[in-house]
A and B are shown apart, each in its own frame.
Chain A
Amino acid sequence: MSADLKGPQELRSEVIDGQLCALCGACVGVCPYLVSHQGRIVVMDECNLSEGRCYAVCPRTSVDFDELNRVVFGVPRPDGELGVVQEILMARAGEGAARKRGQYGGTVSALMSFALREGLIDSAVLTSSNEALLPAGNAVRDESGVLDCAGSNFVAAPTLAEFNREAATDAQRIGVVATSCQVLALAKMRASPLEQGNHIEKLKLVVGLFCTWALRYEDFVEFLREKTDLAEITKVDIPPPPAEVFEVYSNSSCVKLPLDEVRSFIRSTCDLCTDMTAELADVSVGAAEGVLGWNTLIVRSETGAELVKKAAQGGVIETAALPEENLQHLKEAARGKRKRALRNIVDRTGSSEDLLYLKLSEEALERLLA
């Protein structure tokens, strides 16, 4: 494996203290030294090992996209903005609760419920928040629990800590709904020889979520507390441009906050993230721009294709062709995020030979920046 074999000391200095941490939670829950608390990864004590799985599974260390694509899809990363793609569609949940509760089209909830119902998975690791808006991984074994986890509040969640915990239980086939950095960590887990003892083979399904950024918890919630009563919040949303607002819904009202102010709480690592569409997942899902109530659905792997086919056949999801304009915008957006990230990385290190956590040849870098 080409990934560097380092340990907790480097994780701390390079990632946590280096402000690269995405709070994906992959390092949490397998040892007593790393815990997540109030939106931070906390190092509880000094672990004296020189090599550890924490460094190996972290999405902000030693990332070689070609190698990870080989591990997940059997091929190196193809050229293009969106990674491995079998098909790109629009989709939404079939009639019913999933559609109502979803952020956009309810596709993710519908797919996860279906996967549980059919026994393709026996545990779904999702994300939900408490009354103080603190999100955390939430493993559900029954489809009735899926809808409770629908929706997002745009705050980074250490979801994979829950995956780690669940993988050590009697669950046998686990599905995870994950953002790009979390999907990347899951791919690193599959690639790492240090991970075998932690039951990574139980991971059967990864549903990726498109993601441009995620917020820091503590100061964002302080900010919200000044604007509204946290306990009353039912949903938050970011309507498409040119709105430039962050909408906070309660039973009685909708408070619109300037999106720029909310952006000041973005985790610094998001500016260094090249992957908008969660490329290493079985399927990836996001909004369908300008099409209310629909999702964009990228089908990538055989597992993903099977799932979508069966779900569509069963009326669990409805699919439709994605308008060409949407596809172009999607590609542009993905390309834009990748370029910005690479430029930010080179700005930070001062050299195109040091790409922080990315293992990319200079020639590959040039291609991506072209």
Chain B
Amino acid sequence: MVSIATGKPGTRELFMGNEAIARGALEAGVGFAAAYPGTPSSEVIGTLAEVAKEGDIYAEWSVNEKVAMEVAAAASFAGVRAIVAMKQNGVNVASDFLMNLNLTGTRAGLVLAACDDPSALSSTNEQDSRPFAKWADLPLLEPGTFQEAKDMTRWAFELSEEINNACMLRTVTRISHARGDIELGERIPPSKEARFTATSPVDFTPYPVPFKHHQMIAKLEKVRELFESSPFNRYVGPERPELLVVTCGACWFYSLEAVKALHAGDRVGILKLGTTWPLPEKFVQEHLARTERVLVVEEVAPFLEGNLKELVGGHLADTGPLTFYGKRSGHIPDSGELNPDLVTKALGSVLDLELEGVSPEYVQKAQQLTGSHTHMRAIGFCAGCPHRASFWSLKNALKLDGRGGFVTGDIGCYTMALGPTGYFQVKTVQAMGSGVGLACGFGNLARTGFEQPVVSVCGDSTFFHAAIPALLNGIYNHSNFTLLILDNSATAMTGFQPHPGIGKTATGETTPAVDIEGLCRAMGVRVEVTDPFDLEGTTEKLLDLLRDDGGVRVLISKRTCALVRARQEEAEYRVHVDPEKCRGDSCGCARLCTRVFQCPGLIWDTETDTAKIDEVICSGCGVCADICPAGAIINEAV
């Protein structure tokens, strides 16, 4: 199997966008890689970690994105090319360091791969991270193809060293997580001469700030010049198109396809920009001069559109009248990710053309035949997931407690407890660690009449990323809440990357595992530990903790993730339902297991009107046997 390290120069391989970025970094002689897992960015450092040994590079999973950027900056300061990757939220977390690093300047090339998730397919928010490049006065590159993902990354290190500042490479899900065949280039080995040499007392600081700020802006002028002749910017189309599409990133693919679909190749020109900040002004103006109508196709924010208008506004005399279409005009949707159909619709609307799609008869027939069955397939906890059991006990404990207690949530698989899979327990979700922060606030409202118990839920990886400072805040400020840590020994949602509690690094080395229980005790709070599969015991512990008002207390619900466990060991039980005992739909049960508990391993047998175990999906955890009121679910020890 070909990896990003073993692929031979000159060959064509099918690589994921993130793998292409990683390969580009290897081709640039990267020596240091760091990240915190976050969809859709995780594979950039994930694949570098896999080949770290043979590639002779260092790769780590950092506890959060700010630290990841800091460790990568250190490598750069010491003369080693470094790459750091994160999702859009990660850029937020790293931003304080970034806004100091840009003034400080880098030494060896430092590339920040920012991977956005339009439509929040796997995120809590939808956010365009490109404006960070503008605010931070850093060069911004947006690959429009998989080949560019590799080639831009490789070049970005050189660019970074040209100006001694970090370079931002921004992708979206449809580049990062999509695959395309690319041609590989030569690799160069990483530097082996790392050394930290400060040539002045403020060399590695932003001081003096106004001076370095001015310097930083001047660097950008140099970049602008280089961008004027960049091969990543190109124009396709007629000499004087009726409409100029200006696009970047994955939207390049969609724009090409839209023009083709509408047979508008003689009317429409496409200006594809790969270097989107700072804009190569001369180059852009030349192409804007071809036409009077411009459609800007980009996601997520009208960033390019705004910058184009800013450019045009400063050169009104030269450019002539221009009508802009895009997000601001409503032709391109203001939210959500784009796709070829949306771009075709927008283009068609501007050109007054309609696409001949599938025949209306087919569409109607399809609707008739499938409409009642294609309801949303809800996502939920896997069969055997310890979170299901934890939330079942939490739901019961809060109900029994009876004081209107509620749960603040955080980021991970357990965020799904917003929905029926977690019995709608989680009520809030924002950023990493925010659930604990919110709980601190709710827990200090007693003097304003607040009487509801508050439970904050977070996972083990989230705990290390961001919850610790918030927990300290709660203890220090005498807040009143219970922190439920769901410790399944995994950063599961993003793909099972290891973290400080697991005892293994990104490159597979053993390392001391940080003990969450010990850490919390050292902070001075009441800590209890429970096995979530012990439903009764966990509910009792929760009830007891809920009643222990007057400070922060912690319950650690500890059991390995079902998917991780399935790789390591056999199922514990073979589970089946006794259809004679099953009460099914009748009074006394009303389908508790399939309708309320909702483990996907439990299905309904329409012939016997009883519950049944789906042996393909059931993980053999045995928890459902404890909730059946009729004792109809039988666990046989395997």
Contact = CB atoms under 8 A, between A and B. Distances in A.
Complex A–B touching at CB under 8 A: yes
Interface of A: 30-33, 35, 37-38, 40, 42-49, 51-54, 194
Given A32-B627, A32-B629, A48 B590 contact: yes
A43 B587 contact: no
Contacts of A49: 585, 587, 590
B284 to A, nearest CB: 59
B399 A42 contact: yes
Contact of A194 (B399, B402, B585, B587): B587
B590 A40 contact: no
B595 A31 contact: no
B121 interface: no
Interface of B: 395-396, 399-400, 402, 423, 585, 587-590, 592, 595-596, 627, 629
A85 to B, nearest CB: 36
A11 to B, nearest CB: 12
A30 B590 CA distance: 12
A30 B630 CA distance: 10
A80 B163 CA distance: 103
A357 B212 CA distance: 81
A31 B587 contact: yes
Interface of A is mostly: loop
12 contacts: A31-B589, A31-B590, A33-B592, A42-B400, A42-B402, A43-B399, A45-B395, A45-B592, A47-B590, A51-B587, A53-B587, A53-B588
A81 B590 CA distance: 42
A48 B595 contact: yes
A35 B400 CA distance: 9
B633 to A, nearest CB: 13
A35 B395 CA distance: 14
Contacts of A38: 400, 402
A53 B395 CA distance: 25
Contacts of A37: 400, 402
A4 to B, nearest CB: 15
A42 B402 CA distance: 8
Contacts of B590: 31, 33, 47-49
B592 to A, nearest CB: 5
B587 A46 contact: no
Q: Which 6 A-B pairs have the closest CB atoms?
A: A37-B400, A32-B629, A47-B590, A52-B587, A31-B588, A45-B596
Contact of B589 (A32, A43, A46, A53): A32
A124 B588 CA distance: 24
Contacts of B588: 30-31, 53
A51 B585 CA distance: 12
A332 to B, nearest CB: 39
A44 B396 contact: yes
Contacts of A44: 396, 399
B522 to A, nearest CB: 34
A43 B587 CA distance: 15
Contacts of A43: 399
Nearest to A54: B587
Best-buried of B587, B588, B592 by chain A (most CB within 10 Å): B587
Given A49-B590, A51-B587, A31 B400 contact: no
Contacts of A33: 590, 592
Contact of B402 (A32, A40, A53): A40
B587 A32 contact: no
A48 B589 CA distance: 10
B402 A31 contact: no
Contacts of A31: 587-590, 629
A44 B399 CA distance: 6
Given A32-B629, A35-B400, A51-B587, 18 more contacts: A30-B588, A31-B587, A31-B588, A32-B589, A32-B627, A37-B402, A42-B402, A44-B396, A44-B399, A45-B395, A45-B423, A45-B592, A48-B595, A49-B585, A49-B590, A52-B587, A54-B587, A194-B587
A211 to B, nearest CB: 25
Nearest to A44: B399
Nearest to B592: A32
Contacts of A48: 590, 595
